[in-house]
Amino acid sequence: MKIKIYTAVVIAAIMLTSCSGSSGDIEKNNKEEASKEAKPSKPGGLELTAQQMKNVGIEVGAIPQKNLDAVIKASGQLAVPPQNKADVSLLSGGLISHISVLEGQQVHKGQILATVNNQELIKIEQDYLAAKNNFTYVAAEYDRQNQLQAAGAGTGKSYQSAAATYKAEQARLKAYESQLKQLGISPEKISSGSIVSSFPVISPISGTVGKITANTGTYVQPGTSIMEVVDNSKIHCDLIVFEKDLMAVKMGQKVDFQLTNQQNMVITGRINGINKSFENESKGVIVHAEIDNREHQNLIPGMYVTALISIGSKMTAALPTEAVIRTAGKQYIFVVTGQNGDRYVFKKIEVATGTSELGYIAVSPMTDLPAGVKAVTKGAFYLESKQSGSDDED
């Protein structure tokens, strides 16, 4: 009697469990049923019914022709032309008495960046004043000899000597004036008696102050750079294009840049220069591309980019990107190789892929396919997982 009661309880529990299934369980069961009933079709094929395909969301269709852009992939980094980047150096050594700017500050051409003390300036100014006074005497003597020569009262030797001395002193005076101007000191102020012992460091271009390598009180040797100024308004991209793609790259081609470390921000540009020599042993050529930065993005030299160079558009066989399965470094698609009533036979085919655009990717089968062949456009991942499972079982 106890055995009958126990059996009845077990049967009731099983019936209760069976009745508690939800609609989600039914859908799951449909997929599991399709998975169990999918039959391998040798060699390397799968057979499913139309209902099974519907249950797991598999769709098939012809391989369409799409007008996709053909592109070349290249990598590189942002840079500025040499004329838009300046190292601020000193023509004469001295002690930095004041730095007027900070790193990251915007400056304009001719702005004073720092002030340098140099006691040798006083001697240069003294020599300039002495040369100027001496030139005044020499110029007067030259005028006198010139007048005598014109009147026929002077000697040719005296005139020639006065002329030679005049030209020599004139050149010497101009040399001192040029030296003072290069140091940012006005010769006119020196002539008026304003002797100075410091000179300003002037910005050679407009831009942003970069790294400052000197401090107040530092003694700097002539020719030493104390800071840099960069003008990012003309920033461009230097891309490395390898030999196999070089012949397809032309001036004016459109380029889409993706900033690698900036949340994959995309900007556009055009090719405006192609080098004529290889870079080291990489067999790559530097290609320059100007950037269309109308939105004034904060672009900095040295940023790494991945670029797609558009080399034209053409009609090519293409499938939705989800129809291409990638495994073991290769790409595959599934095609319909047979149909018997409502049963479809699928086979995995290796393909080479090309450019990707608007959700489609160019595909080129590695083997010849019959005309009008149909391919899986949706649900290829299910077939791949099922075939992998069948291969493991085999």
CA 335 vs CA 241, 319, 323, 330, 372: distances in Å = 36, 12, 10, 16, 11
**How far is it, in rounded angstroms, from Cα 68 to Cα 317?**
9
Q: Which pLDDT band holds residue 36 (cuts at 50, 70, 90)?
A: very low
| H/E stretch holding 135 | helix 120-151
Q: Is residue 14 over pLDDT 70? A: no
Q: pLDDT by residue (tens digit) across 259-294? A: 877 766 778 899 999 998 888 777 789 999 998 876
- The reply to whether domains 26-67+315-393 and 89-229 share a CATH topology is no
Q: How long a stretch of residues is the chain?
A: 394
Query: How much of the chain exceeds pLDDT 90, in percent?
Result: 29
* pLDDT value for 315: 83
**Residue 303: which of 79, 74, 72 has the closest Cα?**
79
User: DSSP label at 222?
Assistant: T
At 217, the pLDDT band (50, 70, 90 cuts) reads: very high
pLDDT reported for residue 18: 46
What pLDDT digit, counting tens, does each position of 159-188 carry?
A: 888 889 999 999 999 999 998 888 888 888
CA dihedral 189, 192, 196, 199 (to 10 degrees): 10
What confidence category does residue 24 fall into, taking pLDDT thresholds of 50, 70 and 90?
A: very low
Question: How confident is residue 42, by pLDDT bands cut at 50, 70 and 90?
Answer: very low
Burial class (CB in 10 A: 0-12, 13-18, 19+), 23: exposed
User: How confident is residue 93, by pLDDT bands cut at 50, 70 and 90?
Assistant: confident
Q: State residue 182's pLDDT score.
A: 85
pLDDT (mean) for 223-244: 90
Q: Which superfamily does CATH assign the domain made up of 72-83+231-314 to?
A: Efflux pump adaptor protein, beta barrel domain (2.40.30.170)
The CATH number of 26-67+315-393, from 3.40.50.300, 3.40.50.2000, 2.40.420.20, 3.30.450.20, is 2.40.420.20
CATH 3.40.720.10 fits 89-229, yes or no: no
CA atoms of 371 and 120, how far apart (whole Å): 89
Residues 96-145 have pLDDT tens digits of: 999 999 999 999 999 999 999 988 888 888 889 999 999 999 999 888 88
Six-digit token string for 366: 């590695």
The mean pLDDT value of the chain amounts to: 82
Euclidean distance between CA atoms 4 and 12, whole angstroms: 12
Task: Write out the two tokens for 241.
Answer: 């294009």
pLDDT at residue 307 above 70?
yes
Where along the chain do its domains lie? Answer: 26-67+315-393, 72-83+231-314, 89-229
Q: Which residues contact 332 (CB under 8 A, 6 or more apart)?
A: 324, 325, 326, 348, 349, 350, 351, 384
